[in-house]
A and B are shown apart, each in its own frame.
Chain A
């Protein structure tokens, strides 16, 4: 850049003179042209690289026949589903309301949580919200935002355990808030700091909340006083997703291509399985069977009752696109959606692919699938809702209406 600076200086200084004078020489003029062209093309070339801003990937949540769907970036809608159609009750934030006009939530990651007459969810940049299910208006926070300032962004979701909401931030802070008023919970007056960032939603079991970090650590905190129970596990790569395989085991995928099954009691690794690429999705479990996909477009089925876990069948390749969304199990079929997005129906018994259905004009799929009745619901990045039907191996769109963008 310094040569560049020097020559720009030289050439820009000489150009007016050259233009005005008949004594310019063509070599210098050519050089000037190259320099000016290079300077002008700087913004053009740099714009070739698209930076992806947060858009979110929250799965659909059902409460009876009402679905809570992220219908556009950072907006949550309540939708009554009837057959292949859905009608919106409300959308939050509602830009038609003056009090919502300044709300910039950016994105919603992780599953919203329905509890009683409220729905709770965390947003990437706007804090945590408790809305009334009835009308979608916030119970908390008030106009001044959350009572406790959040350090960092929420790239994962939240978890509700008893009366406390837990979440972690990209700067490595773990918070515990009362679900009633959004204030810090007892024992969590100050957030806990861990090394690295937190990109996965915490999970809770009994009296313990588990937090995974980008440093590859897994922390177990006491819910009641925030003390750390163990930090025995450390992966060689970042852990950016976390869920339960069953009551005793944590499903811990890593971008180091490994999936670990970790004991909730002491953090010991019960099983270490190597996939083909990054694993950044939750698993779907049914009894002793666990299924997940990786970034090479491969679906794995494991028997988690053996130590170490063993493969149920040869890995099933559903293409070469990333699989970010957790699969769904319905009867004898595993439903998987990749980033393209294509819905694949896989036979749970032998891993054969029964059908593949591409979704048209759907954006992409990163949100976990949600099972309701005999269907798997798929939420896409452009706010569409699809329903996969394993019985007939088809996918239909649930057409949404009345949604405020």
Chain B
């Protein structure tokens, strides 16, 4: 049932779009994947922009969130205060999930579509006949040519020298993408974790690319390059002296009252570095336990 819905709503449209793009691009499936990626990025551009702004806004709130975290030991209360902070700054913490949740099924669909659209056997071509719409323009394009820049797009990354080149490109673009993403977390521990992930993730995705069709790696590379472009336009690239082109929506100023809680010390936004305990200013763990209902 889930498989049927996935096929009907995701796989078949993707297969047909790829066949269509291949036909209008002179029979090149590789160019079709590139065009497809650009189309998807263009269609999701507003979401991307929102996500980039949201990420930046979220990160600019990090110092204040940390203050809240340090100030309140009761998890429920802490959550309430953090949500209040988000609300009053006009930031939605789950808004950046939208593009990701959209991208994920597209990626899965593309992975499947490439395997379907480039049949590796007569049986697979017969199967493809059930996925391609009954439109002569599409039907005339079949079977598609599987080669692009001398590499078989059906083959896995680890099967040829050019396949390995694509694996390396996946790693390189993932790394650059990480470097162009802002990681201005104020917490040193998180910072160091992120730096570690900057190194680990390219290896991880390169490992995946070894067993993925080269066509999927091509999509990945083009998509990453596009994302790098967006990142630079939104965040700039200080190392090269590039300023952001898309100005960020600065989160609304959080009223001091948001952090002021009756019974707590003064309601001021005490710098994180000045907080000496993790139990709430001036309180011990025992005191906190007593305060709980």
Partner-B contacts on A (CB < 8 A): 1-10, 12-14, 16-17, 22-23, 25-28, 30-31, 34-35, 38, 42, 45-46, 48-49, 51-55, 57, 107, 109, 124, 155, 197, 199, 214, 216, 236-238, 240, 255-257, 277-278, 280, 295, 322, 324, 366
Contact = CB atoms under 8 A, between A and B. Distances in A.
A5 B139 contact: no
B122 A49 contact: no
**Residues of B contacting A: mostly:** helix
B108 A45 contact: yes
Nearest to A276: B134
Contacts of A17: 187, 189-190, 193
Contacts of B116: 49, 51
Contact of A280 (B99, B121, B126, B201): B126
A1 B78 contact: no
A289 B286 CA distance: 97
Given A25-B78, A46-B111, A13 B129 contact: no
B121 A13 contact: no
A4 B100 contact: yes
Contacts of A48: 2-3, 6, 112
A51 B124 contact: yes
B240 interface: no
A13 B193 contact: yes
Given A46-B111, A49-B116, A322 B97 contact: no
B224 interface: yes
A12 B6 contact: no
A241 to B, nearest CB: 10
Contact of A5 (B121, B196, B205): B205
A322 B129 contact: yes
A46 B127 CA distance: 17
B57 interface: no
Contact of A322 (B119, B126, B201): B126
A237 B78 CA distance: 66
B112 A46 contact: yes
User: Which of B78, B83, B104 has the most CB atoms of chain A within a 10 A radius of its CB?
Assistant: B104
B198 A107 contact: no
7 contacts: A5-B174, A7-B96, A48-B2, A49-B115, A57-B122, A107-B121, A324-B126
A65 to B, nearest CB: 30
A16 B193 contact: yes
A51 B48 contact: no
Which 5 residue pairs are nearest across A and B when measured between Cβ atoms? Answer: A2-B227, A54-B121, A13-B193, A23-B69, A49-B112
Given A3-B48, A3-B96, A13-B196, A237 B108 contact: no
A14 B66 CA distance: 13
A12 B189 CA distance: 13
Interface of B: 2-3, 6, 11, 48, 51, 55, 65-66, 69-70, 73, 75, 78-79, 82-83, 93-94, 96-97, 99-101, 103-104, 107-108, 111-112, 115-116, 119-127, 129, 134, 136, 139-140, 142-143, 174, 177-178, 181, 187, 189-190, 193-194, 196-198, 201, 205, 219-220, 223-224, 226-227, 278
Contact of B139 (A2, A4, A14, A237): A237
Contacts of B174: 5
Contacts of A52: 119, 121, 123-124, 126-127
Contact of A53 (B51, B104, B121, B129): B121
A238 B224 contact: no
B174 to A, nearest CB: 6
Given A10-B194, A197-B143, 15 more contacts: A1-B107, A1-B219, A3-B103, A5-B178, A22-B75, A22-B278, A35-B100, A46-B112, A53-B123, A155-B122, A199-B125, A214-B143, A240-B125, A257-B136, A277-B129
Nearest to B134: A277
A2 B224 contact: yes
Given A53-B120, A54-B123, A55-B123, A1 B190 contact: no
A16 B189 CA distance: 10
Nearest to B93: A27
Contact of B93 (A28, A54, A295): A28
Nearest to B72: A23
B194 A13 contact: yes
A107 B278 CA distance: 68
Contacts of A26: 75, 79
Contacts of A5: 174, 177-178, 201, 205, 224, 227
A198 B55 CA distance: 53
A77 to B, nearest CB: 21
A53 B119 CA distance: 9
Contact of B178 (A4, A9, A23, A237): A9
Nearest to B178: A9
A97 B136 CA distance: 50
A10 B190 CA distance: 9
A25 B126 contact: no
User: Which of B2, B73, B122 has the most CB atoms of chain A within a 10 A radius of its CB?
Assistant: B122
Contacts of B181: 6, 9
B225 to A, nearest CB: 9
A1 B224 contact: yes
A15 to B, nearest CB: 9
A231 to B, nearest CB: 18
B108 A25 contact: no
A49 B11 contact: yes
A34 B101 CA distance: 9
Contact of A23 (B48, B78, B198, B227): B78
